[in-house]
Amino acid sequence: MQTKEEILQEAKLVTIVELCSIPLFLFTYTDDKTFFWIILILLDSFLIKHLHIMEFGKLSESIQKKEIEPIVILNIGVILGYTVVAFKNFPLAIYLIINDIVMDAISVFIYIQKQNKDDKA
């Protein structure tokens, strides 16, 4: 089990990577979408390793507002980035939003699987 500081640090890292990848998605989403799919798959593999929604949710009661403030600001940046993408390329924005939802669901599924494994042990 990770400590609160480690979970907060990984949440910041994940959000920064997501924020930095938005311009890459916009740049690579062309008629030949090969690089777009490569970047999306690389980002998704990174998120699977570092996205811990359920653990972050469990800590929400013990996290101080000051500790979570940078993550909130970064998430607002991601939302604004998706908004800009929606005005520039609406289908791309839909792909990215659906991808985020799927990755969140996978993160929850992995957490449940890990909990079931721990309960059996």
31 DSSP 8-state letter: S
CB-neighbour burial class of residue 120 (10 A; exposed 0-12, middle 13-18, buried 19+): exposed
Q: 112 to each of 18, 19, 47, 115, how far by Cα in Å?
A: 24, 27, 16, 5
Confidence of residue 7 (pLDDT cuts 50, 70, 90): confident
Q: How many residues does the chain have?
A: 121
Q: What is the mean pLDDT of the chain?
A: 85
> Can you give the pLDDT at residue 72?
84
> Can you give the pLDDT at residue 8?
80
According to DSSP H, which parts of 1-121 are helical? 4-28, 34-50, 53-58, 65-88, 90-120
More confidently predicted of 85 and 120: 85
> Can you give the pLDDT at residue 63?
73
Domain housing 25:
4-120
Domain count, the chain: 1
Asked if residues 49 and 67 have their Cβ atoms less than 8 Å apart, the reply is no
pTM, to two decimals:
0.80
End-to-end Cα separation, the chain, in angstroms: 15
More confidently predicted of 70 and 54: 70
